[in-house]
Structure 1
Amino acid sequence: MRPEIAIIRIKNLRLRTFIGIKDDEIQNKQDVLINAEIHYCAEKARNSDNMDDALNYRTITKKIIELVEHNRFSLLENLTGQVLDITSEHAWVEFASVEVDKPHALRFADSVSMFLCYRKPNDM
């Protein structure tokens, strides 16, 4: 029987941080919008209804908030990579993806975003 894969989606997490390399970006916090998706086997949680058998999305989100709001980032790639590290750190995670949007980064665009993903290596 194939284990059941659960997908946790953290949608439109709106935070403020220092992001960028221009003087005004270094001196002023900017909005970022974070979306994350985490895949893990949830068969135990579905059958037990016990929090110890599930990934705690609240804990993951709190770690993301702490990272973003208390640090400075020059590159969107670095910020996105560090958020991806948080979403994929638990051993149960099979796949994770993160997209971070920087609204109004370009004059004629709604936002600029960076998308990164992680896939657990196959056991050999």
Structure 2
Amino acid sequence: MNHNAIITITNLRLRTYIGFNEEEKTKQQDIVINAEIHYPANNLCLSDDVDNALNYKNICKTIIKHVETGRFLLLEKLTSDVLGICIDHPWVKYAQVRIDKPHALRFADSVSLTLSYEANHDEITQGVIK
């Protein structure tokens, strides 16, 4: 039986340098990251074998390090980088990342950008990338 595992990271709140205005280049801003990562859950994973599951803690630590030590002019670049971290495993068949930049617009709660990735279905066979 084929199962689809979905890892969801919800409201990961970080601070980074994001933007191209002078104030944005010198002062860190809050961002909020939501990510969804889909991969096949094989029988070894479902039988509690740690080596056969994606390690969401490692993914999260990598995102935190990249975001907090980086400087980004565009929300698109930051979102693309985080999506790249989320799909940096051959098992991942779909991922979506949304990053909100609170207080970016005067009369809005936030501005956000969403990017997604989908593996070529022809390359995935029973959870194994050829």
Match of residue 67 from structure 2: 68
The match for 2:31 is 32
**Secondary structure at the counterpart of residue 68 of structure 1:** helix
* Equivalent residue letter for 1:24: E
In structure 1, how many angstroms separate the alpha carbons of the residues matched to 2:119 and 2:88? 10
Moved >2 Å (runs of 4+): none
Q: Deviation at 1:42? A: 1.1
- Range moving further from structure 2, 37-46 or 25-34: 37-46
Q: CA separation in 2, counterparts of 1:59 and 1:31? A: 22
Question: For structure 2, which runs of at least 5 residues remain unmatched after alignment?
Answer: 124-130
Q: Which runs of 5+ in 1 are unaligned?
A: none
Q: For residues 42-66 of structure 1, what are the alpha-carbon distances to aligned partners after superposition, in whole Å with 9 as ceiling and x for unaligned?
A: 123012x111010000000000001
1:68 positional shift: 0.2
Partner of 2:91: 92
Match of 2:40 in 1: 41
**Paired residue type of 1:66:** K
* 1:11-46: CA deviation from partner (whole Å, max 9, x where unpaired): 000000000011110000000000000000112301
Q: Equivalent residue of 1:100, what SS?
A: strand
Matched, 1:14 2:13: yes
TM-score by length of 2: 0.91
C-alpha separation between the residues in 1 aligned to 2:69 and 2:50?
28
- In the superposition, the TM-score normalised over structure 1's length comes to 0.96
TM-superposed deviation, 1:122 = 2.1
Q: Report what 2:4 is aligned to.
A: 5
Match of residue 117 from structure 2: 118
Q: Please state whether the residue corresponding to 1:80 is helix, strand or coil.
A: helix
Q: Percent identity?
A: 55
